[in-house]
Amino acid sequence: MSNQMPHSLPEFVDPLRLAETRQTLKGRVAVTAMPRLMAALDMPSPARGEVDVDLAFSVDGQGVRRVLGSLHAELDAICQRCLQPMILPLHVNIALGIVRALDEAEQLPDEYEPLVLASVTEGQSLAAIIEDELLLALPVAPLHEEGQCPVRSGALDKVIAEDLPPEGKKRPFAVLAGAFGNKSGEKPLKQK
């Protein structure tokens, strides 16, 4: 039988004790509590959003103290194709083996990634644990979903076309057209 912690998540946790007592943490953590994540996404401050957290601490049949669960978030990001704001959905499944040192991490079964405790005597920042997992799950270059990026869908071409002056109106940079292969029918600049 597992005990569930209240909806309000603690700032610091003792993963070893939580595993021994088979605790479950469910709730939300603000993205603003994760400065490295905000920096990686080049997010404006203050960032919006929260991460839904569902973590179960336990001990497996081999005696490995572990954290299993999932994280769900919709993060503000910048599409690296069109450089426009976008929502980046992240769904991360977690399977961590709790260890006190790096040499213990090498002993973990393959199904676990190591959660190396910073200090056995002090609590661990729950936001930092969550932030590490989200950082590992980030794409190298966030991109809009297929068909939603203005650059790929032609929507950007439409926006640019709407900003162009109607035919016959004075076009302040039309003189430059000759330098780049005149397509407008206007006379190119004369070379000296």
The Cα 16–Cα 58 span in angstroms is 9
Helices marked H in the chain: 15-20, 35-40, 102-105, 126-137, 150-153, 155-163
* Cβ(90)–Cβ(71) below 8 Å: yes
> Would the pLDDT of 186 be above 70?
no
How do residues 86-103 score in pLDDT, each as one tens digit? 888 999 999 999 998 888
Higher pLDDT, 122 or 187: 122
| CA-to-CA dists, residue 113 to 81, 102, 106, 127, angstroms | 32, 11, 10, 18
Query: Which residues, in sequence order, are CB contacts of 32 under 8 Å at separation 6+?
Result: 38, 45, 46, 47
How do residues 76-88 score in pLDDT, each as one tens digit? 888 888 888 888 8
The pLDDT, as a whole number, for residue 157 is: 54
How do residues 123-172 score in pLDDT, each as one tens digit? 889 999 999 999 999 988 888 887 778 775 555 555 555 555 666 666 66
* Residue type for position 175: V
* Cβ(181)–Cβ(188) below 8 Å: no
**Is this prediction's pTM over 0.85?**
no
